[in-house]
Amino acid sequence: MAEAALRLEGVSHVFHRGTPGEVRALDGVDLALEPGSFTVVLGTNGSGKSSLLGAIAGSLALTDGRVYLDGDDITDWSEQRRARRVSRVFQNPFTGTAADLSVAENLVLASGRAGRRGLRRTLGRERRTAVREQVARLGLGLEDRLDTPIGLLSGGQRQALTLLMATMVKPSVLLLDEHTAALDPRSAEQVIRLTQAAVARGALTTLMVTHSLGQAVALGDRVLVMHRGRVVHDLGDVRRRRISEADLLQLFDRLRWADRLDSSTAEMLRRAYI
C-alpha cells in the first residue's frame, strides 16, 4: 500500500481531564487516509467530528497520540505551520476570508501559503491575471469584483472563494468542516459542485465533516461514523457497494438506541445505589 497521505495514531483529546466533568472529545482515534481518497465523517453532535478536524489542522492540542502527514510527524507543528500543507474550509463563510481585504488580496494570500512572504507587491499585474483566471473558472462572475472587499460578498460567494483559496495550491489534505451547513440550498449545491470539481482536478485527499447523509453517499469513497470520540463505523467502497442514505440512517438509529440504553442503565444504577 502507498504511504498514507494522513495518518492518526491513538489521537485523543480530553477536556477537563481528571475532573468529574471529563469529556473525551477524541478517544484513541486511529485513521489512515490514502492519497486521493475522499472520506466523509458523520456523527451526532458532540461525537468528536469537529475535534477530529481540529486535531489534524492543529487548532486542537492533543492529549495523546501522533499525527503524520505524508510520513512526516506533524504532531508538534503549530496550526499555521501545518496550514502550508493542510488547507481548510470552515462552516462559517466569514471565518475563511479576511472581510476588509479585497477578493484578489485574499486569493493571493492563500496562493502564498507554502512560501515566504517578502516585499513583493501583492497585486502586481501578473498575479492579477492569474487570480482573475482562477476566479473566472468558478463561473460566478466574481472576476469583475476582484477589488471588492470580500466582506461585501454573500456567504455562498465567500465560501466558493474560500474553497478556491484552499485548493489553488495543492494541499496534502483538504479539510471540509460542514462547509455548506450555513448556506442556503442553492448556494450549498453550488459549493458542493465546486468541491467535486476541485477535488477531481487536483486528485485531492479530502476529509469532509457533514450532517448530510445525501452528501456523504454522493461524494465519499469512504464513510466514517463517529460516536463519543471514537470511529464506530468505517465503511469503505461506498459507491461500489451502493450504500444508501437509508443504510446510514439505520446506523444512526442503532447508535441512538444504544445511547438511550446507556442512559437508562445509568439512571437505574443511580436509583439503586444513590
Partner 1 sequence: MNLVIGAVTMGFILALLGLGVFLSYRVYHLVDLTADGSFGIGVAVAAALLVHGALPLAATAAAVAAGALAGAITGFLHTRFQVNALLAGVLTSTALYSVSLFVMGSGSVSLASSPTLVTQAHRLAAGLGWPETVTLLGTDVQSSSLATLALMALLAAGFALALTGFLGTDLGTAMRAAGNNPQMARAVAIDVEGMVVLGLGVSNGLIALSGALITQYQGFANITMGVGAIVTGLANLMVGETLFGRRSIGRWISGAVLGAVAFRLLVAAAIRAGLNADALKLVTAVFVLAVLIVPQWGARLRAPRRAGARAHG
- CB-based burial, 83-121: b 16+ in 10 Å, e otherwise: bebbbbbbbebeebbeeebbbbbbbbebbbbeeeeeeee
CB atoms within 10 A of CB 143: 17
Strand-by-strand arrangement of the 72-73 sheet: 23-33, 6-15, 64-69, 72-73
Q: Considering the rule CB under 8 A, would residue 87 count as an interface residue with partner 1?
A: yes
Residue 89 Cβ vs partner 1, minimum distance, rounded to whole Å: 9
Nearer CB in complex with partner 1: 44/59: 59
Q: Considering the rule CB under 8 A, would residue 55 count as an interface residue with partner 1?
A: no
Helix axis angle, 125-138 to 103-111, nearest 10°: 100
Q: Considering the rule CB under 8 A, would residue 6 count as an interface residue with partner 1?
A: no
Q: Considering the rule CB under 8 A, would residue 125 count as an interface residue with partner 1?
A: no
Nearer CB in complex with partner 1: 93/220: 93
First to last CA, the chain: 54
75, three cell numbers: 504532531
**Segment near partner 1 (CB under 8 A); pick from 21-29, 42-50, 93-101, 221-229:** 93-101
**Segment near partner 1 (CB under 8 A); pick from 5-13, 22-30, 104-112, 128-136:** 104-112
Nearer CB in complex with partner 1: 96/156: 96
Q: Considering the rule CB under 8 A, would residue 40 count as an interface residue with partner 1?
A: no
**In the set 60, 69, 103, 108, which binds partner 1 (CB under 8 A)?**
108
- Give the separation between CA 263 and CA 74, rounded to whole angstroms: 38
Residues of this chain that bind partner 1 (CB under 8 A):
57, 59, 79-81, 83-84, 87-88, 90, 94-101, 105-106, 108-110, 112-114, 117-123, 165
